[in-house]
Chain A
């Protein structure tokens, strides 16, 4: 075995977190090697997660728009005869464009991108194994672990990626199933449940909690559930699964502990993800995973072993690409002793379900939990001319202001394009705007931004009531 080649930063994993970490280090003039087990950069985000699923989401939204705009002409379920490949027609192009862009960016910054799997030899040395078995050792002053996560492989549900699928293999279906059972009530489960329902698949979503997306505010989730029901979906809450079996012929049977049985052509298991730590031999670096199989890290991503950082999904929630990128940037800045700017806690949450849900800053639920008074103002999309024109009246935007109803502390949105609409609210929070500025300033008409004005007026109205009482 040859001696190890030295780099200042060894970054393991070229997903959103690792890629941003590598670029930040390179921009600071450091010599960087980026190790990726897939043959192109991007990670699960590009290959199996964010980008492919959002492409399917866009297709489903387009189909819904056509259905809404042509009442009676195009019936629900019209997409059932279409191949998945046709529904994701642009996905390969999008992935390739994104990967090319990332590869260019990596090369432009002088980062060495290596295809292979990493394994720790010690806290400063990593061995890279190429698919063909060739090995190479590299050493670094700093090692950044950004290997991401994958769907959990449950012991009690026989995921075969044919009839019982996980969130990776669901996108490999050749044809839309007629019926789908979704196990789970989290982000991925709710996104796919609503997307497939919008495509005309008969969907039953089963979860042990009363409602899905428990970390989002109740009014938003209620709106999501109502929309899901309108799409023909059914949510079965407070349910414990006894077993899941493929009948050997054509149906997956899900039996609940209360005796109810649900049959479907396919089943999606979407209950949890696990960090990609296998094969890394973290013990050789003096690292230890926590009880959830992830790393406990501090706010900078420090792992506890000097010089080793863990970022993105391997460091636990929130498991969002946006926060992973930011973690990558900040970990490197911390390693180099450079300032990392503000906005640390203001990472938005976006759920690409149908309808989309998004929030940033303080939520009403978090305020209640902390015993903090807030004033909440709402705007129904149905009150907005733009939403009426687009046939997109089912949304809701809420502004969470402080107890005096003066400053914007948080924004929550449910509805089409919620993940985009949210950003005006994020800017308002970052700028420390008073609610009144959303009323005093002029927005284009008709636009969805008008929702901010309507919600701000609602906050002001409630503030006046507070003063008068």
Chain B
């Protein structure tokens, strides 16, 4: 990464909290569904769940002091159960209407790739948790939000003529801390912030080390499907999570489903 990019990002990030942009099609889908009398709750839930940004907005509001839920909301099911369906619908619509829509620019394609990767990571995190009989509900959110700051940082880079490799290096440098800070500010469980902060160093994540490693494995599986040229070695994480070769094979069998899922999303 060039020193110019490094210093400009440091300066921009130092100014305050990042704002996550929404993908325009997600916003319009939510608004359309909410206005459709025949729309079923599960349709709306499905749209929200498939969009990293929308989900993040919803979790932020659901955990806000204003609503003061009795337990931290870490999934849409929990949000509906504790806040009620109509309130969750209202939050989703408000998020869709009030949030800034991502401006298409030089790096629009990369942002879309990141959204797809986040969704696939969330999905695989859930599958890893399911296989290991760990908390599936929280795993999805942990995977989905791990790199939540990435689209916003791409926006900060703006229209600068920066090579893709350099952007990826910048994301690797700045996304973990920025994502963790965002998650912490939303009052989500500390483990989710630790997953973001220690994405590359799960061994430092303390009590969240296991979840952190599981999400890193999920991220590896997502890369293998969506961006095979960036695929990483997953053997160490799999072994640390006590997953055998056939367990990994079973996770890889979900490839087509993941592809269909991300294709149907934003």
Contacts and interface: CB of A to CB of B under 8 A. Distances in A.
Interface of A: 37-39, 48, 80-81, 83, 117, 129-133, 160-163, 166, 168-169, 172-175, 177-178, 247-251, 265, 279
Nearest to A170: B133
Contacts of A162: 77, 126, 130, 136-137
A163 B243 contact: no
Given A38-B242, A249-B77, 18 more contacts: A80-B70, A117-B244, A129-B245, A130-B239, A131-B245, A132-B238, A132-B239, A133-B244, A161-B133, A163-B77, A172-B129, A172-B133, A172-B134, A175-B78, A247-B42, A248-B46, A250-B77, A265-B81
Nearest to A150: B133
Given A160-B136, A174-B138, A250-B77, A132 B70 contact: no
Contacts, number: 81
A131 B238 contact: yes
A287 to B, nearest CB: 21
A175 B45 contact: no
B136 A81 contact: no
A160 B130 contact: yes
A131 B244 contact: yes
B70 A174 contact: no
A178 B81 contact: yes
B70 A81 contact: yes
Contacts of A177: 81
B259 interface: no
Contacts of A163: 77
B39 interface: no
Across the A-B interface, give the 9 residue pairs with the lowest CB-CB distance, nearest first: A248-B42, A250-B80, A162-B136, A168-B133, A131-B239, A81-B70, A172-B135, A250-B81, A175-B71
A37 B136 CA distance: 22
Given A161-B129, A169-B133, A175-B71, A249 B85 contact: yes
Contacts of A168: 133
Interface in B237-259: 238-239, 242-246
Name which of A83, A168, A175, A177 has the most chain B CB atoms within 10 A of its CB.
A175
B129 A248 contact: no
A314 to B, nearest CB: 19
A174 B189 contact: yes
Given A131-B239, A132-B239, A161-B130, A249 B41 contact: yes
A208 B246 CA distance: 37
23 contacts: A37-B244, A48-B133, A129-B245, A130-B239, A131-B239, A131-B242, A161-B129, A161-B133, A162-B130, A174-B135, A175-B71, A177-B81, A249-B41, A249-B42, A249-B45, A249-B76, A249-B77, A249-B80, A249-B85, A250-B81, A250-B85, A265-B81, A279-B246
B56 interface: no
Contacts of A172: 129, 133-136
A388 B45 CA distance: 52
A462 to B, nearest CB: 50
Contacts of B120: none
Given A161-B133, A168-B133, A250-B77, A39 B85 contact: no
Contacts of A173: 135, 137
Contacts of A265: 77, 81
B6 interface: no
Interface residues of B, number: 32
Nearest to A177: B81
B149 interface: no
Contacts of B246: 279
B74 interface: yes
B235 interface: yes
Interface of B: 41-42, 45-46, 70-72, 74, 76-78, 80-81, 85, 126, 129-130, 133-138, 189, 235, 238-239, 242-246
Contacts of A80: 70-71
Contacts of B126: 162
A37 B46 CA distance: 37
A168 B133 CA distance: 6
Nearest to B130: A161
A238 B74 CA distance: 37
B228 to A, nearest CB: 21
A298 B246 CA distance: 34
A174 B41 contact: no
B65 to A, nearest CB: 16
B192 to A, nearest CB: 11
Nearest to A173: B135
Contacts of B76: 249-250
A177 B76 CA distance: 14
B209 to A, nearest CB: 12
B133 A39 contact: no
Contacts of A249: 41-42, 45, 76-77, 80, 85
A39 B244 CA distance: 11
A174 B74 CA distance: 9
B9 to A, nearest CB: 34
Contacts of A81: 70-71
A175 to B, nearest CB: 4
Nearest to A166: B133
Contacts of B45: 248-249
Contacts of B70: 80-81
A37 B238 CA distance: 14
Contacts of B189: 174
A163 B78 CA distance: 10
A128 to B, nearest CB: 11
A150 B235 CA distance: 26
B245 A133 contact: yes
Contacts of B74: 174
Contacts of B135: 172-174
Nearest to A80: B70
A174 B80 CA distance: 16
Contacts of A132: 235, 238-239
Contacts of A83: 71
A175 B134 CA distance: 13
B33 to A, nearest CB: 13
Contacts of A247: 42
Given A80-B70, A249-B45, A250-B77, A161 B136 contact: yes
A279 B246 CA distance: 10
B244 A129 contact: yes
A173 B77 CA distance: 13
Contacts of B239: 130-132
Contacts of A39: 242
Nearest to A278: B246
Contacts of B243: 131
